[in-house]
Amino acid sequence: MKVAIYVRVSTEEQANEGYSIRAQKNQLVDYCRVNEYEISNIYIDEGISAKDTNRPDLQKLLAAAKEGAFDAVLVYKLDRFTRSVKDLYELLEYLSSLGIGFISRQEKFDTTTAMGRAMIGILGVFAQFERELIAERVRFGMEQKVREGKRPGGKVPFGYDKNERLIEEEAEQIRMVRRLYMGGLSYQSVAVRMTRDGHKRRKYDWTATTVMLTLENAYYAGIIRYGTKMPNGKYAWRKKETRVKVLDVEGSHEPIWTVNEYEEHIARMRRRSVGGNGSKHDYWFNGVLRCGRCGAAMYGKQTTRRTLKSGKEVTNSYYWCSRRKDNKSCNMPMFRESHVTHLIMEHIEKIRLDHMAVETEKKSLKKQEDERKQEASRLKRELDKIRARIKKWQYAFAEDLITDSDLKKRMNEEKDLEAQTLSKLHALETSEESDILDRLVGLTEQWTSLDDADKNELITTVFEKITLHTDEVNVKGVKNAFFPASIEVEYK
């Protein structure tokens, strides 16, 4: 079995408890010899507390675990790994999910055995208790701060400096947002007006979302709030949670609105909150479609339901640029879903017609493939030699034949060589002929038989990104014809 040794000591422990790096390492190397374990690597965190898992070599160990570099982690004692039951449980769960065991020499704790795996479940109970205890302490501390009229933490809202003093220019923007909204404009229209007039939320443009979040922020009415109200709560008009009680306390900061003004526009937001884009629809190209004009994501929306002469009710799906949606800072026209589909099918047909040209290249590709296989075999042999040398340096260090600095130097050299060799090997193994044509042809053959959700899944499986390009700006009046456009694609 291949194991990774983890050693940790804080300066105080090394002086008072005899947990020196060398003492732990020697005992663990001897333990590996007795049990005939192969040492994959030795990870050392020196002079670092175990209060959390943010330790350099522990993070390196976890990254190597993800790559399958070893079969188990070996430590001298459980508290060398972590002093938190919660962290221990989460680390063991993570290692277990990767099929990696955990062994503590001192406590005879071994998750590669049935008894050791059963212990993980017991640890889980205590980990949950520790989590709830910490959460309870944090909540109590936050509530106490709010009762004293102080913010419970987090970023100071726009409009105030870090000492919670009013920034008048920013405060005037917040008042302007409220005036525009109460004057009858929608969130988006307010964002458009603010952007057009050159106003910024610090360095960012106003959007429909930031307009809404600004209006619902009780802090601007001089209220310090902690928690979430029940659905019928006075201020939680758009919340669905029933999580915790809420504390509303008068803050010590200078308000921008009065409480009456705040309640007035919250009531207006509640009245206007009913609506949306109608019934749920799985948009085929959500997640992959991009605007070729500004690079932003494009999202699906549906037109208002209308009735044809035949009596049939229909809606059409469109895609529009998120920047146009948020504040009209992009003038990319909206694309019908059928138009995007047409462009993709045209793209696939062109590739199909070019397939014959690809076939003529296959003979030369076969020769290149043989050469790749030979080079890959050579690189694998080189990797075996590098890893054998790494193992020798580790044992030499354990036997005091070389110093810490010598080991680090040698290990860095070998790791650099290993990384370079692995990179070359990966490049060779991923340069085989792609099956993209087969997947594209399969897409066209299956398309008409799929429902909305399946179409979206198929598109996101084949394509990494589909970028729409057009020189058109105003396409009103184009009903059945497609306006001039093209696509640029990136495959998975």
Q: Which of 10, 96, 186, 189 is catalytic?
A: 10
Residue ranges of the chain with pLDDT lower than 70?
A: 11-19, 50-51, 116-121, 123-146, 148-154, 226-247, 272-282, 304-314, 352-370, 426-446, 448-451, 453-454, 457, 476-481
Residue-level pLDDT at 159: 92
Q: pLDDT digits over 4-23, tens only? A: 999 988 765 554 455 678 88
Structure tokens at 203: 């360095």
* Secondary structure of residue 401 in the 3-state scheme: coil
DSSP 318-387: EEEEHHHHHHS---PPPEEHHHHHHHHHHHHHHHHHTHHHHHHTHHHHHHHHHHHHHHHHHHHHHHHHHH
The DSSP bridge pattern shows strands 101-104 and 109-110 to be antiparallel
3-class SS of residue 40: strand
Give the pLDDT score at 332: 92
Mind listing the pLDDT tens digit for each residue in 280-339? 456 788 878 999 999 998 988 887 666 666 666 667 888 989 888 888 889 999 999 889
DSSP state of 204: B
What stretches of 200-329 adopt beta strand conformation (E)?
Answer: 223-226, 247-250, 289-291, 298-302, 306-307, 313-314, 317-321
Architecture of domain 2-130: 3-Layer(aba) Sandwich (3.40)
Residue with tokens 């040794």: 5
pLDDT in the model for residue 250: 82
Domain 168-272, CATH class in plain words: alpha beta
Report the amino acid identity of residue 221: A
Q: 478 to each of 319, 335, 342, 481, 483, how far by Cα in Å?
A: 15, 11, 15, 6, 7
pLDDT at residue number 138: 62
What is the structure's pLDDT at 432? 42
CB-based contacts of 335: which residues, under 8 Å, 6+ apart? 298, 318, 319, 320, 468, 485
pLDDT at site 339: 92
Active site residue 434: no
Q: Domain-by-domain residue ranges, the chain?
A: 2-130, 168-272, 276-492
